[in-house]
Amino acid sequence: MEREIKKSPADTIKNIKTERKMKKLLSSGELKLVLNQFDRSTFH
């Protein structure tokens, strides 16, 4: 037996955040540290 949905289930969902937080960027020194971790002795 089918019944009519009287209230939308989506009404109970909180509003979606429209703003995104800015992520922390790496400094040039931190970026160099990350890139120097790769093995550059061989080329694949």
7-28 pLDDT tens trace = 888 888 888 777 888 899 999 9
Q: How confident is the model at residue 31 (pLDDT cuts 50, 70, 90)?
A: very high
Q: What is the pLDDT of residue 25?
A: 94
Q: How far is CA 24 from CA 6, 18, 20, 30, 32, in A?
A: 46, 19, 12, 12, 16
Mean pLDDT of the chain: 86
pTM of the predicted structure, to 2 decimals: 0.43
